[in-house]
């Protein structure tokens, strides 16, 4: 599928912002569907099965964090969270809720399109280039079937968590710098975004049962980056 033919769900309770983003996306050849509330977004997601979601945080009744968590209960498709200017806590909470990326208001059409293209391209390329199977203790990752288990129990990862685990596994026993991981998993535009990496590493560790204070899978090298332990 060409990324320009992708269906994108845009969720925002501000009608002007919603129309603006829809127009930007349609000019680039995407099919854009819109929702003005969290509840409507869940319904639209289940009906349309979009390829990507652009999700505003501040909405009445059900905010973007809750929408993100609900979607993550049944889908791993990429989610871009729209955050307020300079709100570091919103970015961190969005990533903790399961978002793959974030964009800060106000943003330009060029910035939004770059984020969208990067998210869709990452998903397509990593799906086309599965890594070989990887086993480390109770952790088993079959990248051909997109299945990760720990002690026989399947773990459901987001698209970004999956790419991160795959990249670490491909380079097991090698110390990887934070910027090398960011560039290879997210893209060149994410160089230096340490908060993004740390939040995703933390979320991945929780899902695979890797205690951050005494990890057995993903080891931290302070001031440098991370290393996946030796494959068993």
Provide mean pLDDT across the span 153-175: 89
The CATH code for residues 3-127 is 3.40.50.2300
**Mean pLDDT within 45-54:** 92
**Amino acid 124: pLDDT:** 77
State the Cα–Cα distance between residues 118 and 3, nearest whole angstrom.
10
pLDDT of amino acid 191 = 81
- Tell me the two tokens of residue 23: 């127009």
Percent of the chain with pLDDT over 90: 54
**Average pLDDT score over residue span 172-179:** 93
3-127 with 130-228: one CATH topology?
Answer: no
CATH class entry, domain 130-228: mainly alpha
* C-alpha distances in Å from residue 176, one per residue of 26, 91, 136, 197: 38, 24, 18, 12
Kindly report the average pLDDT of the chain as a whole number: 88
Residue 4 has pLDDT above 80, yes or no: no
User: How do 31-35 and 79-83 pair as beta strands?
Assistant: unpaired
Query: Three-class SS of residue 194?
Result: helix
Please give the pLDDT value at position 127: 63
- Secondary structure letter of residue 213 according to DSSP: T
Terminal-to-terminal C-alpha distance of the chain: 37
In Å, what is the CA distance from 156 to each residue of 41, 76, 98, 148? 22, 8, 11, 7
| CA–CA gap between residue 211 and residue 14 (Å, rounded) | 41
Q: Where are the domains of the chain?
A: 3-127, 130-228
- Give me the pLDDT at residue 1, please: 45
CA proximity to 77, closest of 96, 99, 60:
99
**Pick from 6-20, 47-61, 136-150: least confident:** 136-150
pLDDT bin (cut points 50, 70, 90) of residue 128 is low
CB atoms within 10 A of CB 44: 18
pTM score over 0.75 = no
pLDDT tens-digit map of 70-117: 998 888 889 999 987 667 788 888 888 889 899 988 899 999 999 999
pLDDT digits (tens, 9 = 90+) for 134-160: 899 999 998 777 789 999 999 988 888
The predicted pLDDT at position 142 comes to: 87
Please give the pLDDT value at position 232. Answer: 57
- CB of 98 within 8 A of CB of 79? yes
- ∠ CA 121-185-25, rounded to 5°: 30
Q: What is the mean pLDDT of residues 169-173?
A: 89
What single-letter DSSP state applies at residue 151? T
Indicate whether 29 pLDDT > 50: yes
For the segment 211-219, the average pLDDT, to the nearest whole number, is 92
Flag whether pLDDT at 23 surpasses 80.
yes
């Amino acid at each position: 599928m060409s990324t320009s033919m992708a269906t994108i769900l845009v969720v925002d309770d501000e009608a002007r912002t919603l129309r603006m983003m829809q127009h930007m996306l349609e000019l680039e050849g995407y099919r854009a569907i819109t929702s003005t509330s969290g509840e409507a977004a869940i319904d639209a997601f289940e009906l349309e099965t979009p390829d990507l979601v652009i999700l505003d945080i501040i909405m009445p009744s059900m905010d973007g964090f809750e929408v993100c968590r609900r979607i993550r209960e049944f889908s791993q498709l990429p989610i871009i969270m729209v955050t307020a200017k300079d709100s570091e806590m919103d970015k961190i909470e969005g990533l903790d809720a399961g978002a793959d990326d974030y964009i800060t208001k106000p943003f330009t059409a060029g910035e939004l399109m770059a984020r969208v293209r990067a998210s869709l391209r990452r998903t397509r390329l990593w799906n086309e280039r599965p890594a070989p199977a990887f086993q480390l203790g109770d952790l088993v990752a079959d990248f051909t079937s997109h299945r990760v288990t720990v002690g026989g129990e399947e773990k459901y990862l987001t698209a970004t968590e999956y790419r991160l685990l795959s990249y670490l596994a491909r380079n097991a026993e090698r110390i990887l710098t934070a910027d090398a991981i960011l560039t290879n998993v997210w893209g060149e535009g994410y160089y230096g975004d340490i908060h993004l990496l740390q939040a995703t590493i933390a979320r991945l560790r929780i899902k695979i049962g890797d205690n951050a204070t005494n990890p057995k899978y993903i080891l931290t090298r302070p001031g440098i980056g991370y290393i996946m332990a030796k494959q068993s």
